[in-house]
Amino acid sequence: MAAGVTGGAAGTWSDRFEQGLHPFIEAFNASIGFDLTLLQEDLDGSIAHARMLAGCGVISAEEGDQLVEGLETVRREAAEGTFQPGLADEDVHFAVERRLIALLGPVGKKLHTGRSRNDQVGTDLRLWLRRRLDGLDTDLVRLQRALWSQADQHRRTLIPGYTHLQRAQPLCLAHHLLAYIEMLQRDRDRLQDVRGRVNISPLGAAALAGTPVPIDRRRTAAQLGFDAIYANSLDAVSDRDFCVEFCAAASLVMAHLSRLAEEVIAWASEEFGFVRLSDRCATGSSLMPQKKNPDVPELVRGKTGRVFGHLQGLLTMIKGLPLAYNKDFQEDKEALFDAFRTTRDCVEAMAILFEEGLVFRPERLHQAVGEDFSNATDVADYLVARGVPFREAYQLVGAVVRRCLEDGCLLRDLSLTAWQDLHPAFEADLYAALEPQAVVAARRSEGGTAFDRVDEQLEIWSQRLHESQTAG
């Protein structure tokens, strides 16, 4: 063997290869450092494949049993920590096969009949993601329940509503939190849609063209819990759109978490003071002893860009690939694994934050909704209810707000005489209509923030989340 090469991969390939890989190239080429994550799925897929080969008469029943037993031995060794493949194994598939051959001898060499690493890794990835999608859904339900619990405690608490980060109209705090529950539900629905397209088996497509071996693809698909098989062998091994689609759905989860995180960060500031952070989910400053920092939402906001980056990376990776399999696909795993872990961790962190990491301050919120002009629209609505055209009422109230700003007072501070000078339709009941509780209670259109509407939605979501928890 020539100097500067290793024999690590020489025994892997056919006799076409006379030398092993250069040591650096061997390390550069290997994926064993990260795709060992797929070990359990690789074993599951291989067991299904071995049983199918035996069932189809490609190998004997005894050989099938030996292969299954050998694969389960590898699983036990992994659990015990004695199965530790190295760089020379290149990837998880070769690592398992080599250990199987060491355990069984020539029988172990029969496992790869009728398949390729191309359909093998595609199967492993789908099994891995399918299993974790189910767990992520459970985590999202937990966050929804944490938000619901906070909302349930604040059915009659008010919070300023904003547009353009300017005070707009007062809201029921429960209504505000329910908005995020709705967003997370759409996230769950999207992930469920992704699961449907993940749950299709490529196993049996072989390298790209299928195999002359008389296999039964539907048999392995059924054993592994897939809903269907890929109809086209070339398509089965040549795309990673399911990874992209997951990262896209995960990016939307993270976008929603980041929006919620941004609000919590603002609410926890002295300027807002809407929430108080608990010691369980906040740290202090090494210099300023009075500080309590919103670490959890800040990290969630920061990690959102990480998941976005994985989405862009995967899109860029696949955009120029000719059919079928290309080594570029090796880059899908770390992106997928990290995108999932990051999303799952952020969902759990936000669930803990709302379970025990913050407390809303109703007294401060009450103060906030009473110190602005967010009831101005209600003055216009008051006039509309008495026959005044909305645009005329709108202009009149705008002039009133300007006058109040000049005089340093609020709408509630104007005397009834002053109101009636502006328009004769104003009566003493205007003041009751301007109270924040009345402003919120009046918005009874379906989906609105009125207390009775919010109560309805809380009951609906209580039932839905109970059903989700029971189903999970």
Domains identified in the chain and CATH numbers: 23-113 (1.10.275.10), 118-152+172-213+225-367 (1.20.200.10), 370-462 (1.10.40.30)
**Cα within 13 Å of Cα(69), Cβ side:** 9
pLDDT of residue 5: 33
Q: Are 139 and 346 in contact (CB under 8 A)?
A: no
b/e per residue 119-145 (b: at least 16 CB within 10 A): bbbbbbbbbbbbebbeebbebbbbbbb
pLDDT of residue 291: 60
DSSP letter string, 257-303: HHHHHHHHHHHTSTTT--EEE-GGG-B--SS-TT--B-HHHHHHHHH
Q: Hey, which residues are catalytic here? A: 164, 285
pLDDT of residue 181: 98
CA 252 to chain centre: 7
Q: What is d(CA 120, CA 206) in angstroms, rounded to the nearest whole number?
A: 8
287 phi, psi to nearest 5 deg: -115, -45
Triad 383, 156, 367: Cα angle to 5°? 75
Q: Report the 10 Å Cβ neighbour count for 347.
A: 24
pLDDT of residue 411: 92
Both structure tokens of 321: 């690939």
Both structure tokens of 74: 């590898």
pLDDT of residue 271: 93
Cis peptide before 207 (omega within 30 of 0): no
Tell me which residue of 139, 149, 336 sits closest to 248, measured CA to CA.
336
Residues of the chain scoring pLDDT < 70: 1-16, 284-291, 472
Tell me which residue of 226, 287, 297, 246 sits closest to 267, measured CA to CA.
297
**Burial class, 313, CB count within 10 angstroms (exposed 0-12 / middle 13-18 / buried 19+):** middle
Q: Are 84 and 167 in contact (CB under 8 A)?
A: no
Both structure tokens of 54: 């035996």
Say how many residues make up the chain. Answer: 472
pLDDT of residue 286: 52
Residues 6+ apart with CB under 8 A from 381: 393, 442
Q: Are 137 and 192 in contact (CB under 8 A)?
A: yes
Residues 6+ apart with CB under 8 A from 343: 136, 250, 253, 254, 307
Number of H helices, E strands in the chain: 19, 6
